[in-house]
């Protein structure tokens, strides 16, 4: 299996373990397989047995083997077994799937140590990093940005691991108290929290700027855990397969997915699974008031917003106006035209955005199966309250966005297939919004008792690439890993 950059016209191939540690491609593009592997009906039959007999970790190993040919199969199985286990995950099924009713299902992605879907990829990424760094006798300095859940998931996955430091940028004052406590409460010497004076998109821009400095990146062994890292998406493909197998009994059945998204990472994994041949009917892009992606799938216009127009909402992990992973989908949409993709995302986005043709927009909807929806604060409150009363089930604000978009799609498109709404996080992480919706605070799992009382460990920095670089180099020089 070879990997290529979305901006590399020559399609220079790379191997999995090289892009695992590198993150962003040297040309500024994102890595994808040179060709997507194929999921056949016989494979799905086999995977049904694998899931039933060996559980989620065994299924994960089989899917990962399709993408990785430079790690021995036995080692992939051991890595997956270490990543997906209890009590690290609260459920033995790792990703249970339950029916709400009315054609809606929930894929529970919040059973991990930080109660967010990001744990599904991060726990695997931690094992992969430690494995490959051990083989190379090397170290890695991970630089990431988070709008809420990526940071804590990454830090919990990497804390205490030999040869790894984590530098995580957060938008100052933009996360919930619970999210901040999960991150800033960690005092591990290899974890560095940075509160940047800006919004998430500013944090993401700094990460990209540092990663684009090839000399700095090489000198200080800078790696990535944001969804620009291919291994994140690869791990997320697994739970689409898991959810499909749990909802269906026959490979003739199709399933749709509604996915809350701001950075297009979670749903991009669904796009990849669909391209591989997983019988997915529709992929529903669920956005909040920061509706750049919804606007694209309605109009064909991709118009990223500046920080001044990025709203702070009650589903804060989706307060994103420049979706990094969208480049991967557009690369496929344009027939894998690297030169055009480089122009669109390297030039046009900086100039305010771009538009695709009417034929390409139709292909996004018909050939690739996308539709989209938008949710407001009032919609979230109403959905949380209705789902709680109707189904006796409590959802977080982001998952509420997904359910709202799923219901709208059912009404507008008469979608007959089951819709799996992918859960984003446990409601406890957004207690104020939940209380506003139903009048009471959500229950807190015992494992999070006292988390809000922990001492905070965080450094405030200006929205400046040079300042972040200085902090990284100083921290590397003064800490051992």
Domain locations in the chain? Answer: 34-85+115-227+456-478, 97-113+230-438
Give 76-88 pLDDT, tens digit per residue.
999 999 999 999 9
CATH 3.40.50.2020 fits 97-113+230-438, yes or no: no
| CB distance 185 to 454 below 8 Å | yes
115-156 pLDDT per residue, tens: 999 999 999 999 999 999 999 999 999 998 887 678 888 899
The residues, any chain, with a CB within 8 Å of residue 148's CB and separated by 6 or more, are: 116, 175, 176, 179, 316, 317, 429
Positions annotated as catalytic residues are 118
Q: For domain 34-85+115-227+456-478, give the CATH number.
A: 3.40.50.1100
**Residue 226 reports pLDDT greater than 80:** no
Integer angstrom CA distances of residue 44 from 69, 282, 369, 451: 21, 19, 21, 42
**Domains 34-85+115-227+456-478 and 97-113+230-438 are alike in CATH topology:** yes
pLDDT of 455: 86
Query: pLDDT digits over 250-296, tens only?
Result: 999 999 999 999 899 999 999 999 999 999 999 999 999 999 999 99
**Average pLDDT value for the chain:** 94
347 pLDDT higher than 80 = yes
Section 452-480 average pLDDT: 92
Give the integer Cα–Cα distance in Å for 374 and 27.
33
């Amino acid at each position: 299996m070879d990997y290529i950059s979305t901006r590399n016209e020559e399609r220079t191939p790379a191997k999995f373990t090289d892009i695992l540690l590198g993150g962003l491609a040297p040309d500024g593009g994102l890595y994808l397989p040179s060709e997507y592997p194929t999921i056949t009906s016989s494979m799905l039959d086999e995977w049904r047995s694998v899931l039933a007999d060996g559980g989620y970790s065994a299924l994960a190993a089989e899917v990962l083997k399709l993408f990785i040919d430079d790690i021995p199969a036995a080692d992939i199985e051991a890595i997956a077994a270490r990543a997906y286990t209890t009590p690290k995950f609260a459920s033995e099924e790792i990703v249970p799937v339950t029916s709400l009713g009315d054609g809606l299902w929930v894929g529970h992605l919040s059973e991990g140590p930080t109660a967010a879907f990001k744990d599904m990829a991060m726990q695997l990424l931690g094992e992969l990093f430690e494995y490959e760094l051990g083989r190379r006798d090397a170290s890695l300095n991970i630089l990431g940005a988070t709008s809420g859940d990526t940071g804590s998931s990454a830090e919990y996955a990497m804390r205490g691991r030999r040869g790894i430091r984590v530098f995580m940028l957060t938008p100052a004052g933009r996360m919930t108290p619970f999210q901040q406590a999960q991150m800033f409460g960690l005092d591990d010497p290899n974890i560095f929290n940075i509160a940047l004076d800006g919004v998430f998109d500013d944090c993401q821009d700094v990460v990209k700027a540092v990663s684009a400095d090839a000399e700095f990146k090489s000198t200080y062994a800078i790696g990535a855990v944001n969804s620009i890292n291919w291994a994140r998406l690869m791990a997320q493909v697994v739970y689409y397969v898991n959810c499909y197998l749990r909802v269906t009994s026959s490979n003739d059945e199709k399933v749709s997915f509604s996915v809350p998204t701001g950075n297009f990472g979670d749903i991009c994994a669904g796009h990849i699974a669909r391209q591989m041949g997983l019988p997915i009917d529709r992929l529903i892009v669920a956005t909040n008031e920061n509706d750049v992606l919804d606007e694209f799938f309605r109009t064909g216009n991709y118009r990223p917003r500046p920080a001044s127009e990025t709203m702070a909402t009650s589903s804060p992990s989706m307060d994103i106006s420049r979706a990094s992973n969208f480049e991967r989908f557009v690369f496929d949409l344009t027939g894998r035209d690297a030169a055009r993709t480089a122009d669109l995302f390297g030039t046009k986005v900086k100039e305010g955005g771009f538009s695709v043709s009417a034929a390409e927009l139709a292909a996004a909807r018909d050939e690739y199966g996308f539709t989209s929806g938008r949710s407001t604060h009032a919609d979230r409150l109403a959905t949380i309250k209705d789902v709680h009363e109707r189904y006796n089930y409590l959802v977080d604000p982001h998952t509420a966005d997904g359910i709202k978009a799923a219901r709208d799609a059912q009404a507008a498109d008469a979608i007959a297939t089951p819709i799996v709404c992918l859960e984003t996080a446990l409601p406890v992480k957004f207690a104020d919004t939940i209380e506003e919706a139903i009048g009471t605070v959500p229950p807190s799992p015992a494992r999070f008792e006292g988390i809000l009382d922990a001492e905070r460990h965080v450094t405030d920095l200006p929205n400046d690439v040079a300042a972040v670089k200085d902090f990284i180099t100083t921290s590397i020089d003064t800490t051992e890993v």
